[in-house]
Chain A
Amino acid sequence: MDWITTVDHKKIGILYLVTGGVFFLLAGLEAILFRIQLMYPMNDFLDAQTFNELVTMHGTTMLFLAALPILFGFFNYILPLQLGARDVAFPFLNALGYWTFLFGGLLLNLGFFTGGLPDSGWTAYPPLSTEYSPGFGMDYYSIGLQIAGIGTLVGAINFIVTIVNMRAPGMTMMRMPLFAWTAFITSILIVFAFSAFGVGILMLTFDRVFDGHFFNAAVGGNVILWQHIFWIFGHPEVYILILPAFGILSEVIPTFSRKRLFGYTSMVFATALIGFLGFMVWAHHMFTVGMGSVANILFAVATMLIAVPTGIKIFNWIFTIWKGSLKLTTASLFAVGFIPSFTMGGVTGVMLAMAAADYQYHDTYFVVAHFHYVIVGGTVHGIFAAFFYWFPKMFGRKLNETLGKITFWLFLIGFHLTFFIQHWLGLIGMPRRVYTFLDGQTGWNEMNFVSTIGAFLMGVATIILLINIIITAMKPKDAEADTWEDGRTMEWAMPSPPPVYNFKQTPLVRGLDAWWVEKRAGNDAMTPAEPLGPIHMPNGSILPVIMSIGLFIAGLGIMHHATWASIGGFGILAVCMIIRSLIDDPGYYIDPAEIEGKEVKAS
C-alpha cells in the first residue's frame, strides 16, 4: 500500500526502475522472437502481421517505456541526493508522472490481451497508421503514448524546477555534478519535444477516431506533415536518451579513475550545444522524402556539426582516465565499454548525415546498425553502468561482481555480433522492417543467422543479470555509505540506502565534487549548512493512481466511441483534481530527537 501512495522520490525512483526493467525484458523478448524469424530465409516462425506488430512494439516499448523510464528512475533517486535536496520540487506531481506512465504503458500493451497491436512502426507514418491500419492497434499507440507522455512531461518539468530551485547552499550551477547537468538539459529537451509529439499524436487520434483530415491526402491533408512533427520530436528524443548516459559516464569514470572529470566546463557546454543542435536536424530522417537539395544540404551540414561536441565528450572521458588510476569493476567496465561502441555509432551517424550517401543507407539495416550502436552501445551500456554503480546506494547491497563481469562480456560480444554485421547487410541491400528475405542471396543467410546468435547472447547476459539481482537480494544489507571508496558526489556521503528525509541537515557545498572535497579536507561527513531542526515531509496520496486510472478509462472510452466511459474517466480525473485543490495537506514533521535516536541505533 505504501508503494501505491508514496510520494518519496526514492521509492518512485525504484518504481520507475522496476517498471522500466519489466518493459525492457518484454521488448527484449519481442526482439528475440523476430530475430528468430529472421534466422533463416523465408522462415515461417512468425507471419508478416505479427512480425510488424512485434517490431513496432519493440521499438516503441524500448524507447518510451524502457529506456526513458529507467533513466527517470535514476534521475528520481539520485538527483535530489546529488543536489542535497529533501525531495524533488513537486512530490505529488512526481507520483502522478509515474502512474500516468504506467497506465499509458499498459494501454499501449493492451493489444496483447485484446488482439491487434500497433503495427505501423514506431514512426507510425500515415496513411499506413491511419486509413490502412484498421482495428485498435494504432489507437493503443496514439492514446497510450499520449497518457504516458503526460507522465514524461510532468516528470521533466519537475526535474527542471528541482535543479533550478533546490540545490544545497554553495552548489552553483557550475558546481553541479555532470549527471545533474544532463538531467537538466534532457528535461528541457523533453518539454519541447514531447509537447510537439503530444500534438502530433492528438492529430493522429483525431484522424483515426473522429475522421479528421490532418494526414488524409485525399481531402487536402498532407502525410509529410506527420513526418515533420514526428521527427521534430523524434530526433531530440534520441538525445533525450543519450545525454543522461553521457551524464552517467561522467560520474562513473571519474569515480573509478580517482580523478576529476577532464574539461568539466567544456562538458557542460558540449551538453548544452548537443541539446540545442538536436532540434535543428530533424529532417535528416527525411532526406529521401523529396525536400529538395537546399533543405537536404542544410540539414546534412547541421547534423554533421553535432559530431564536434560529441567528439569533445569522448576525448574528455578518455583523458579523465589518462594519468588516473582506473579500477575495473562491472560498473566501470560498462562505462568504458561504452566509449568504443558509442564512437562507432557516432561515426556511422556522420556517414548517414551525408545526404547524397544516405539515399543508399536510408531505411536499411545500416540505419538499424547505427542506432543500435548509439542506443545499445551508448544508452543501454550507460544504464547498466548506472545500475551496478548506484545499486548499493539504493538497496544497501553490492551486486555480485563476478556475475556482473560475465554479464558485461556476454553482452558486449552479443551486441557486436548482432549489430556489426548489419552495417554490411544494409549496404548490400537489406531494407529494414522486412519480415523475411529470399533464399539464395549471397551472404544474407549467414549474416542474418549470426545476428540472431548475437541476440541470444544478449538475452543470456540479461538472464544472468536477473540471477545476480535475485542472489544479491537474499544477502544482508551491508553496503557502506561510500561503497566504492572513491565517491565524489554527495550521494556517497549518506547511508546506503539513505533515510526518507535524505540529509539530516542540508549540506554546505564547497566545490565541484562536494564529497570528494570534504574527504580531501579530512572530514568524514558533509559540513551542515543549517542547525538540526524538525524536517518537513509531504504526506503520501492515493490520488495519482486514481487519476491515472481515470485517464486510462477515458482513453479506452475515446477509442471505442463510448461516450459515457470517456466522460466517466475524465470525471474521475476532475474529481481528484478538485479534492487535491480544496483539501489542505500540511504534511508532517520528523523531529530531530527522533532522528538522533535512529542514527544512534544505526551506528
Chain B
Amino acid sequence: MKRLIPLTAMMMLLLTGCSVEGALDPKGPVAEKQLDLILLSLGVMTLVLVVVFVLFFWVIIRYRRKPGDEIPEQIEGSHKLEATWTIIPIVLLFIMAVPTVALTFNLEQEAKATEGDMVIQVVAKQFWWEFTYPEEGIVTAQEVYIPVGKKVVFELSSTDVQHSFWVPELGGKKDTNVGGRNVNYLALEASYPGTYKGKCAELCGQGHALMDFKVIALEQPEYDAWVQKMLTPAEVTVETELGAELFEAKCLSCHAIDPGMPSMGPNLNGFADRMFIAGWLENDAENLVKWIETPEDVKPGVLMPGFKDVLTREEIDEIVKYLQSLH
C-alpha cells in the first residue's frame, strides 16, 4: 500500500502537467463517438479494478500468516460465489458490447461514399502521403485540406508496403493496403477549423516514425479559395527562371508541378504554402537546402537522392528560391 502513495503522486503530477490531446481531444464527430465509447469502457473497467483491488488488498492484509495460525479449513469452492463472478462480468460485457456493435456498424456504414460525398484518395508510400482530389483535379502531398463540417471519405491504398492512416483528433485509423484489391474507406469530419496531426501507424520501414502528415480544416469559403489557388499554377518570373530550369532538369523526373499531375515523388504545386518539409521539418530556406542536399538526414530510408554532390550550393539556392515562389 505504502509504495502506491509516492507512485500515484508522481503519476498525478505528470498527468496534470500534460495537455490532453490525440484521441482524448476529439475535434470531429467520429473521434467524439469513439471517445464516448472509450470513456464508457474505462468507467466499467475502473469499477472492475476497484472491486478486484479492494478484495485483493483485503485478503492479503487480513489473511497474512500470524504466529500460532492453525491449518485453515480446506474450502473446496462455492457455487454461489463462483456463479456471481461469472454472471456479473457477463452483464458488464453486455453493457459494453451493445454500443460497440452499434458504433462499429455505424462507422462502417458512414464510410461508404454515396452521391455528393467528398472523396479524397490517399496513397501511402515509403515514407510520404499523396492526396488526390478526383473532382477538383488536384494532387498534393503531406498536407491535406478539407472543409469544416463536411463528411470527407478517404479512399485508402498504398503502393509499396502496408501503412496505416491515422488522424487521432478526427478519428481512429485504417490501414492502407497494397495490391489494389483491398481498398479501404474511412469517413472523417472536422467540426472546427484547425491543423490536425496525422501519422502512419503501421511499421513501414526506416522512415516510419517520421511519416507524418497534416489535415488542415478550413471554413468552406477559405477551402474554396485554396482549391482555386491550387488550380492556378504559379508564374515563373525572371527571379526564379534559373531555379525553374534547374528544377526541370534535375527534379521533374520524379516530381510534378502541374496541378492534378501524379508523379513518382510528391507533387510540389503550392509548395511555398506548405508548413512542413517531408511532413515534419519546418518549411524555411535553410531546412530546404538541408533537405535537398541530404534528405537521408531528415528522414532515414527516404527514396529521394541527395544532391549535395550533384548541384552546387548556388544552384540549390536557386531551386529553393523557385520552390518558395510556388504559391
Please, which residues of chain A bring their CB within 8 A of the CB of B192? none
A288 touches B175 (CB 8 A): yes
**Does A263 interact with chain B (Cβ within 8 Å)?**
yes
Please, which residues of chain B bring their CB within 8 A of the CB of A435? 206, 208-209, 300
**Does A82 interact with chain B (Cβ within 8 Å)?**
no
Within 8 A of A (CB), among B83-109: 85-86, 89-90, 93, 96-97, 100-101, 103-109
B72 touches A259 (CB 8 A): yes
* A 545-575 binary contact with B (CB < 8 Å = 1; else 0): 0000000000000000000000000000000
* A-B contacts, CB under 8 A, total: 302
**Does B184 interact with chain A (Cβ within 8 Å)?**
yes
B34 touches A359 (CB 8 A): yes
Q: What is the bound-complex CA distance between A446 and B33, given in angstroms?
A: 29
Other-chain contact of B93, A120, A308, A348, A437 (Cβ < 8 Å): A308
Within 8 A of B (CB), among A385-423: 409, 412-413, 416-417, 420-421
**Does A149 interact with chain B (Cβ within 8 Å)?**
no
B77 touches A293 (CB 8 A): no
B105 touches A293 (CB 8 A): yes
**Does A238 interact with chain B (Cβ within 8 Å)?**
no
A323 touches B14 (CB 8 A): no
A421 touches B81 (CB 8 A): no
With both beta carbons as reference points, the residue of chain B lying nearest to A296 in the complex is identified as B104
A362 touches B45 (CB 8 A): no
Chain B nearest CB: distance from A499 CB in Å? Answer: 30
A258 touches B72 (CB 8 A): yes
Other-chain contact of B72, A257, A265, A266 (Cβ < 8 Å): A257
**Does A427 interact with chain B (Cβ within 8 Å)?**
yes
**Does B286 interact with chain A (Cβ within 8 Å)?**
no
Chain B nearest CB: distance from A491 CB in Å? Answer: 20
Please, which residues of chain A bring their CB within 8 A of the CB of B240? none
Q: What is the bound-complex CA distance between A404 and B18, given in angstroms?
A: 36
Given contacts A288-B172, A293-B105, A321-B60, A340 and B161 within 8 Å (CB-CB): no
Please, which residues of chain A bring their CB within 8 A of the CB of B101? 297, 300-301
With both beta carbons as reference points, the residue of chain B lying nearest to A349 in the complex is identified as B45
A321 touches B59 (CB 8 A): yes
The interface stretch among B19-27, B226-234, B311-319 is B19-27
Other-chain contact of A223, B22, B65, B162, B174 (Cβ < 8 Å): B162
Chain A nearest CB: distance from B282 CB in Å? Answer: 11
**Does A276 interact with chain B (Cβ within 8 Å)?**
no
**Does A106 interact with chain B (Cβ within 8 Å)?**
no
B18 touches A443 (CB 8 A): yes
Interface size class of A (residues with CB under 8 A): 35 or more
**Does A322 interact with chain B (Cβ within 8 Å)?**
yes
B204 touches A416 (CB 8 A): no
A127 touches B21 (CB 8 A): no
Q: What is the bound-complex CA distance between A436 and B63, given in angstroms?
A: 47
The interface stretch among B35-43, B215-223, B254-262 is B35-43
Within 8 A of B (CB), among A430-470: 431-438, 441-443, 446-447, 450
A263 touches B82 (CB 8 A): yes
A428 touches B52 (CB 8 A): no
A132 touches B161 (CB 8 A): yes
Q: What is the bound-complex CA distance between A438 and B197, given in angstroms?
A: 12
**Does A497 interact with chain B (Cβ within 8 Å)?**
no
**Does B55 interact with chain A (Cβ within 8 Å)?**
yes
Given contacts A300-B100, A351-B42, A427-B24, A325 and B205 within 8 Å (CB-CB): no
Q: What is the bound-complex CA distance between A263 and B202, given in angstroms?
A: 43
Given contacts A260-B74, A326-B65, A424-B15, A304 and B97 within 8 Å (CB-CB): yes
B65 touches A359 (CB 8 A): no
**Does A532 interact with chain B (Cβ within 8 Å)?**
no
Chain B nearest CB: distance from A594 CB in Å? Answer: 38
Please, which residues of chain B bring their CB within 8 A of the CB of A336? 56, 60
Other-chain contact of A343, B19, B52, B212 (Cβ < 8 Å): B52
A436 touches B104 (CB 8 A): no
Please, which residues of chain A bring their CB within 8 A of the CB of B17? 443, 446
Q: What is the bound-complex CA distance between A428 and B31, given in angstroms?
A: 12
Please, which residues of chain A bring their CB within 8 A of the CB of B108? 292-293, 296
B86 touches A318 (CB 8 A): no
Q: What is the bound-complex CA distance between A343 and B78, given in angstroms?
A: 22
Q: What is the bound-complex CA distance between A432 and B90, given in angstroms?
A: 32
**Does B241 interact with chain A (Cβ within 8 Å)?**
no
Q: What is the bound-complex CA distance between A117 and B69, given in angstroms?
A: 57
Q: What is the bound-complex CA distance between A218 and B178, given in angstroms?
A: 9
**Does A209 interact with chain B (Cβ within 8 Å)?**
no
Please, which residues of chain A bring their CB within 8 A of the CB of B33? 356
Q: Specify which of B33, B52, B184, B197 lies most central, judged by the most chain A CB atoms within 10 Å of its CB.
A: B52
Chain A nearest CB: distance from B84 CB in Å? Answer: 8
Please, which residues of chain A bring their CB within 8 A of the CB of B97? 300-301, 304
Please, which residues of chain B bring their CB within 8 A of the CB of A364? 201
**Does A305 interact with chain B (Cβ within 8 Å)?**
yes
B173 touches A359 (CB 8 A): yes
Q: What is the bound-complex CA distance between A344 and B55, given in angstroms?
A: 15
* B 262-306 binary contact with A (CB < 8 Å = 1; else 0): 000000000000000000100000000000000000001100000
8 contacts between A and B (CB under 8 A): A48-B207, A49-B300, A318-B59, A357-B41, A362-B201, A420-B11, A427-B38, A450-B14
7 nearest interchain CB pairs? A359-B172, A217-B179, A443-B18, A429-B22, A434-B209, A293-B108, A263-B77
Interface positions of B (Cβ within 8 A of A)? 3, 7, 11, 14-15, 17-24, 31, 33-34, 37-38, 41-42, 45, 48-49, 52-53, 55-56, 59-60, 63-66, 69-78, 81-82, 85-86, 89-90, 93, 96-97, 100-101, 103-109, 126, 160-162, 164, 166, 168, 171-175, 177-182, 184, 197, 199-210, 212, 280, 300-301
> Given A325-B65, A358-B172, A442-B21, 18 other A-B contacts at CB below 8 A?
A47-B300, A48-B300, A132-B205, A258-B65, A260-B74, A266-B82, A288-B201, A318-B55, A322-B63, A326-B63, A326-B64, A347-B49, A351-B38, A357-B37, A362-B164, A429-B168, A429-B199, A434-B209
